[in-house]
């Protein structure tokens, strides 16, 4: 366990795999009547609540200050609440596997933002990786979801917005990480802040009755909460060990899980161009990752 907690590669596999489970869980939930906002609330409440209980059981407390409150609020909105609402709203239209492919663009976009913000200096391999990833993204976008059931371009645009928000969150969390704050503490604060935002949104937009649908899918709710709690414990540790660009590669693992689960268990089918585009995006990710190591 100690090796896992200190190995960026092992943390990447575990975090990406757990993130990938949210895609099929989300499709099952939305098909069962849960809205994207409601399922995003389930994830943040589950992750924040379980991790808070673990933290308290170990006799630790979260000491709040202005910096942490700002960090919790911005991270909650940019990294969790908004991307999850978009993701679970788009899955019924695009499919779990196709939506998962959007995650693979996060490393490329993270590198672009790092260059634009002066966090990283561009090199030829990095620029080439960005270009290759963009070509793959265009190929995937043109297929517009599952084979034989092209989605409206609006939902394709929503899907493409997800990696932009995730990339922005990757940069921000590293840039503004509070001094002397541990990964579990930050995961708890950020997710409880996201859950609070989503709770207010649900009451305002969908009403208190929207929560009733969860009683009809207790197994999926509990499984999603457990996966989310475990994933975000490893997520913030990976942020500390691997940095923002390495962290962004969890999208590659999550996309693979989402595609496999979508095809094998949810009956999804995708065009050859979708698979080719996903493969080209992967090449772009490998190139940008090597560029970062240089």
In this structure, are residues 107 and 120 in contact, taking their beta carbons and an 8 Å threshold? no
Residue 284 has pLDDT above 90, yes or no: no
Q: Report the pLDDT value the prediction gives residue 74, as an integer from 0 to 100.
A: 97
pLDDT band for position 121 (50/70/90)?
A: low
Spatial CA neighbour of 81 closest among 236, 200, 191, 234: 191
Model pTM score = 0.82
- The whole-number pLDDT of residue 224 equals 93
CA 212 to chain centre: 26
Q: Is residue 2 part of a domain?
A: no
Residue 252 confidence (pLDDT) above 80: no
Residue 1 lies in a domain: no
Q: What domain count does the chain have?
A: 1
The average confidence (pLDDT) of the chain is 85
3 pLDDT higher than 80: no
Give pLDDT, residue 293. 65
Lookup: tokens for 97: 């596997």
Alpha carbon distance 73, 95 (integer Å):
30
Identify whether the C-beta of residue 155 lies closer than 8 Å to the C-beta of residue 93.
yes
Structure tokens, 190:
């950020």
d(CA 233, CA 290): 27
Mean pLDDT, residues 21-41 taken together: 92
> pLDDT at position 215, please?
93
> Does residue 249 lie in a domain region?
yes
Confidence of residue 292 (pLDDT cuts 50, 70, 90): low
pLDDT of residue 60 exceeding 70, the answer is yes
pLDDT beyond 80 at 247: no
The verdict on residue 279 lying in a domain is yes
The angle that helices 153-175 and 106-116 make with each other, rounded to 10 degrees, is 50
* Domain membership flag for residue 107: yes
- Region 16-44: mean pLDDT is 91
Domain of 57? 14-293
**Is 245's pLDDT higher than 70?**
no
How confident is the model at residue 42, as a pLDDT?
95
Q: What percent of the chain has pLDDT over 70?
A: 95
Is there a domain that residue 85 lies in?
A: yes
Cβ-contact 82, 158 below 8 angstroms? no
């Amino acid at each position: 366990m100690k090796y896992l907690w200190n190995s960026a590669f092992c943390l990447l596999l575990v975090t990406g795999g757990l993130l990938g489970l949210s895609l099929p869980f989300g499709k099952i939930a939305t098909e069962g009547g849960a809205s994207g906002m409601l399922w995003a609330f389930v994830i943040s409440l589950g992750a924040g609540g379980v991790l808070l209980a673990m933290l308290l059981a170990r006799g630790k407390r979260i000491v709040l200050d202005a910096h942490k409150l700002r960090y919790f609020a911005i991270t909650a909105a940019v990294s969790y609440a908004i991307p999850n609402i978009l993701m679970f709203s788009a899955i019924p239209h695009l499919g779990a596997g196709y939506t998962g492919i959007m995650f693979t663009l996060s490393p490329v976009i993270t590198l672009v933002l790092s260059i634009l913000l002066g966090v990283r200096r561009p090199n030829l391999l990095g620029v080439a990786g960005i270009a290759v990833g963009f070509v793959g993204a265009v190929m995937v976008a043109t297929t517009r979801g599952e084979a034989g059931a092209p989605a409206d371009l609006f939902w394709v645009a929503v899907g493409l917005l997800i990696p932009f928000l995730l990339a922005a969150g990757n940069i921000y969390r590293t840039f503004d990480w509070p001094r002397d704050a541990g990964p579990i503490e930050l995961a708890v604060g950020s997710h409880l802040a996201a859950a609070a935002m989503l709770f207010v949104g649900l009451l305002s937009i969908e009403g208190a009755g929207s929560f009733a649908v969860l009683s009809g899918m207790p197994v999926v709710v509990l499984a999603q909460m457990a996966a989310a709690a475990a994933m975000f414990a490893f997520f913030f540790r990976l942020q500390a060990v691997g940095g923002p660009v390495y962290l962004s590669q969890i999208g590659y693992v999550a996309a693979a899980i989402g595609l496999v689960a979508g095809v094998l268990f949810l009956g999804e089918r995708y065009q050859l161009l979708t698979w080719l585009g996903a493969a080209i995006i992967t090449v772009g990710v490998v190139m940008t990752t090597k560029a970062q190591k240089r």
